[in-house]
């Protein structure tokens, strides 16, 4: 079922989300199905449970191709629960981000380039990956949502934050949000 996505300004997006304690339950499966339906409906590349008002440390991400990020390499579809992120160097890279909770806008955000992340899938199986570039960016963006952080809070140069249609009048970045 497609759920409403909360928008920036809603205080529920600012909370520290709670850890998931039960894996493999019907409730967890239904939540993930709703998150997937919602993310695909909006052509997003990731979604965090707090964005649909669910106070849990659970994110989903991944895509084969995205109109919102046409040049981005494929990321395998992933359910990541109770994540732990570990940057593998101090190196950062600037990149454009949008967010389904900040519709119609884009901002230039620095993120760690190389990242190890650990956590669990919906069955409780361990996930342990080392990634870089856009994959690392997406994980950092989504997991920020679990700590009440939205990408505009990480923008350093506000001359590179604004409405997508104004920043990219040639339509080089497609999508409504």
Instruction: Report, as residue numbers or ranges, the catalytic residues.
Output: 142
The Cβ of residue 30 has, within 10 Å, a number of other Cβ atoms equal to 11
Dihedral pair phi/psi, residue 18, rounded to 5°: -90, 145
Yes or no: say if 100 and 128 are a contact pair by the CB < 8 Å rule.
Answer: no
Residues in contact with Ni ion, total (CB under 5 A)? 1
Report the distance separating Cα 35 and Cα 11, nearest Å: 20
Q: Which residue's CB is nearer to Ni ion, number 3 or number 23?
A: 3
Closest contact distance (angstroms) between CB of 109 and Ni ion is 11
**Strand 92-97 to 58-63 pairing:** unpaired
Closest contact distance (angstroms) between CB of 107 and Ni ion is 11
Q: Which of 99, 108, 136, 138 binds Ni ion (CB under 5 A)?
A: 99
Report the distance separating Cα 43 and Cα 146, nearest Å: 21
Binding mask 57-96 toward Ni ion (x if CB under 5 A, else -) reads ----------------------------------------
Based on the shown chain and the rule CB under 5 A, indicate whether residue 17 belongs to the binding site for Ni ion.
Answer: no
Please give the residue whose beta carbon sits closest to Ni ion in the complex. Answer: 99
Q: Which residue's CB is nearer to Ni ion, number 31 or number 47?
A: 47
Yes or no: say if 163 and 86 are a contact pair by the CB < 8 Å rule.
Answer: no
Contact residues for Ni ion, defined by CB under 5 A: 99
């Amino acid at each position: 079922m497609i759920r409403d996505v909360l928008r920036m300004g809603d205080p529920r997006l600012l909370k520290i989300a709670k850890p998931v304690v039960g894996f493999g339950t019907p409730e967890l499966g239904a939540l993930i199905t709703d998150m997937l339906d919602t993310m695909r409906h909006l052509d997003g590349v990731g979604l965090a449970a707090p964005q649909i008002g669910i106070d849990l440390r659970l994110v989903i991400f991944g895509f084969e191709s995205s109109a919102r990020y046409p040049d981005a390499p494929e990321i395998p579809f992933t359910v990541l629960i109770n994540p732990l992120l570990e940057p593998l160097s101090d190196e950062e890279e600037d990149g454009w981000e949008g967010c389904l909770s900040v519709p119609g806008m884009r901002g230039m955000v620095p993120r760690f380039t190389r990242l190890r992340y650990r956590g669990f899938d919906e069955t409780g199986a361990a996930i342990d990956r080392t990634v870089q570039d856009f994959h690392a960016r997406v994980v950092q963006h989504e997991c920020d949502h679990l700590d009440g952080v939205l990408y505009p809070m990480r923008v350093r140069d506000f001359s590179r934050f604004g409405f997508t249609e104004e920043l990219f009048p040639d339509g080089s970045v497609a999508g409504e949000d």
